[in-house]
Amino acid sequence: MIQVNNLTFAYLEGVEVLRDVSFSVKKGESCAIIGPSGCGKTTLLYLIAGLLPIQSGEIRVNGTATTRGNIPMILQDYGLFPWKTVWENVAIGLTLKHTPQREIRKKVVPILEELGLSPFTSFYPSQLSGGQCQRVAIARVLAMNPSLILMDEPFSSLDAMTREHLQTLLSRIWEAHRITFIIVTHSIEEATFLGKRVIVLSERPAKIRAVVENPNAGDPVFRSSRTFFEISTKLRKILFSTNPEAQA
Amino acid sequence: MKRHRYLIGILSAIILFFVWVVMSLTISGGIIPTPLSVVRAFSLSTFAPNFLVSMARVVVSLGIAIITAVPLGLFLGQNPQWDKWIAPMIFLTYPIPKIVFLPIFFILLGIGNISKVALIALVVFYQILVTTRDGARSVKKPFMDALVTLGGNTRDVYRHVVIPACLPAILTSLRISIGTSVAILFFVESFATRNGLGNMILDAWGMADYPMMFVGVIGMSVLGIMLYEIVEILERKLCKWAQL
Ligand SMILES: Nc1ncnc2c1ncn2[C@@H]1O[C@H](COP(=O)(O)OP(=O)(O)OP(=O)(O)O)[C@@H](O)[C@H]1O
Ligand SMILES: [Mg+2]
């Protein structure tokens, strides 16, 4: 589905943010990317989404090079448009494709229903809680019926309870729609719960420190299982090790 | 909330009316006429044509300024490589009091309505341009990125992100521009014209007809308040999100 090969990127000449990053994600799989703050996670997603030009290496989605505007992304901040209502925010991807109103309604109504947003269609983002906002952001990308979604720390500003709630919701959606997704997070537990494959990045310039296979991810009961703690502990060790080579 | 607003409005009007009455009774020489004498001096057949001419001048000027300054401001705010060249020109010419160009406009454009409208439009153009550009400059990049990942092109970015994000700033500048344009209107109507509220005020002044002069002054105020109220309505309709 998605193949990243030898990706290297620098915003300024000589100051590398990513160095020789390669990984792949299979169709319908979830992939979590975790790494220290400022290491280049957002940059990596921007490159996959085609928002930044590729300097060296390649990114292939379904065998072809990435192009901007084809992969919906949930951004770290400023996700929703404050001047659009919940309905308009969720419909925007379809509106941009000049979808007829009737079609839009047919697609948006069930998604709002699924995410428990039906009572809020005419609300503006400033009238919603943080958790509701993130649900709208998820609804907005789902409305486009994508096969791949990128998410940049979607739940980082939420309280622990709402966060767990939305993680479960996300895993359910992933299960139901079989969407491939890549989620960037700085929470070890979130990565463990959501990523069938967890990629650990090093300090800037980001290199791949380890790829941890995590086949039970997404299962609601996984969170309280023994393996969950084992994987989390393993990730923690890799993240905080001073000698990455020994771990990888 | 709405009722509240109207009540305060009515209360303010009553207070202002009182202040007027007190001043007309205490300041001697009839310079401040009583409300009654102003009502007597009012005649629709002289007021209406002057009011309409003035209104047309202001509205056309504002219209020209908006349709030129808003697109240019949005473009410059979004394209620093162009703004780099234009910004110094704006910076240097912004503080010049544009009304000093009236004689030049009279020579170039004649003494009719065109030069009057051009001068009002020029002054207001600057106010709207600078505010719009600064607004368009400060639109957060992630909003645009979000729209692009959802399939938006450059035109969509203007339509769905830049314009709505700047609209509150544009309407604010428009509100300021209304006050400015009515003031400039008075100035341009004091030269080479036989109609308009400004001319009416100066004529009455020349004849020491203070009640008549006040009819003109109130006419100008009404014109300003009317336009202001239109902007308020637009703001409530178009920028609901910014007022929550
Ligand atoms: N537009 C830019 N120009 C220059 N440098 C940038 C730019 N954007 C990011 N950087 C730098 O690139 C590095 C990686 O940034 P990035 O936003 O990808 O990190 P991140 O891993 O997402 O961090 P966080 O966990 O805090 O979100 C940072 O050191 C940052 O200073
Ligand atoms: Mg980031």
Domain that holds residue A159: 1-72+147-248
Residue A186 and residue A141 share a domain:
no
- Gap from CA of A241 to ligand 1 centroid (Å): 22
Tokens representing residue A165 in the block: 């709630």
Residue A212 CA to residue B6 CA, distance in Å, equals 65
Same domain, A204 and A214: yes
**Full DSSP string of A184-248:** EES-HHHHHHH-SEEEEE-SSSB-EEEEEE-TTTT-TTGGGSHHHHHHHHHHHHHHH-S-HHHH-
A1/A98 same-domain check: no
Whether residues A152 and A52 share a domain: the answer is yes
Q: pLDDT below 50 — which residues of chain A?
A: 246-248
**Digits of tens for pLDDT over chain B (244 positions)?**
567 878 998 999 999 999 999 998 888 777 889 888 899 988 888 899 999 999 999 999 999 999 999 999 999 999 999 999 999 999 899 889 999 999 999 999 988 899 999 999 999 999 999 999 999 999 999 999 999 999 999 999 999 999 999 999 999 999 999 999 999 999 999 888 889 999 999 999 999 899 999 999 999 999 999 999 999 999 999 999 988 8
Residues linked to residue A21 through DSSP beta bridges, in sequence order: A7
Q: Which residue has the least CA distance to atom 22 on ligand 1?
A: A42
Q: What is the ipTM of this complex?
A: 0.88
Cβ of A139 closer than 6 Å to ligand 1, yes or no, is no
The closest alpha carbon to A24, from A50, A51, A5, belongs to A5
Instruction: Choose the final residue of a domain: A85, A112, A145.
Output: A145
Angle, vertex CA B182, rays to CA B177 and CA B186, nearest 5: 145
User: Does one domain contain both A167 and A244?
Assistant: yes
Cβ of B143 and A81 within 8 Å? yes
Within this chain, do residues A66 and A168 fall inside the same structural domain, yes or no?
A: yes
User: Domain count of chain A?
Assistant: 2
Best of A42, A66, A67, A83 to substitute, by most chain B Cβ atoms within 10 angstroms, is: A83
Give the count of Cβ contacts less than 8 A between chain A and B.
72
Task: Compute the Cα dihedral for A119, A120, A122, A127 and give only its sign.
Answer: positive
Helices (H), B27-112: 35-41, 44-78, 80-93, 102-109
Looking at beta carbons, which residues of chain B come within 8 Å of A68? 148-149
User: CB atoms < 10 A from the CB of B17, how many?
Assistant: 11
Residue A177 sits in the same domain as residue A134: no
Give domain limits for chain B: 1-32, 41-243
Least Cα separation, residue B82 to chain A (angstroms): 22
Q: How far is CA A137 from each of CA A90, A93, A144, A147, A166, rounded to the nearest angstrom?
A: 7, 12, 12, 16, 12
Pair A248, A159 in one domain = yes
Q: What is the pLDDT of residues A179-189, one digit of tens each?
A: 899 999 988 99
**Residue A153 and residue A65 in one domain:** yes
In CATH, what number is assigned to the domain containing residue A26?
Answer: 3.40.50.300
> Chain B residue closest to A143 (CA)?
B150
Q: What dotted CATH number matches B41-243?
A: 1.10.3720.10
Place of tokens 């995590």: A214
Q: In chain B, which residue ranges form alpha helices assigned H by DSSP?
A: 2-26, 35-41, 44-78, 80-93, 102-109, 113-137, 141-149, 154-157, 163-188, 197-206, 210-238
pLDDT, one tens digit per residue, over B65-112 is 999 999 999 999 999 999 999 999 998 998 899 999 999 999 999 888
Question: In terms of domains, do A60 and A139 share one?
Answer: no
Together in a domain, A248 and A155: yes
Last residue of a domain, one of A89, A113, A145: A145
List the shell of residues around ion ligand 2, using CB closer than 5 Å. A 42
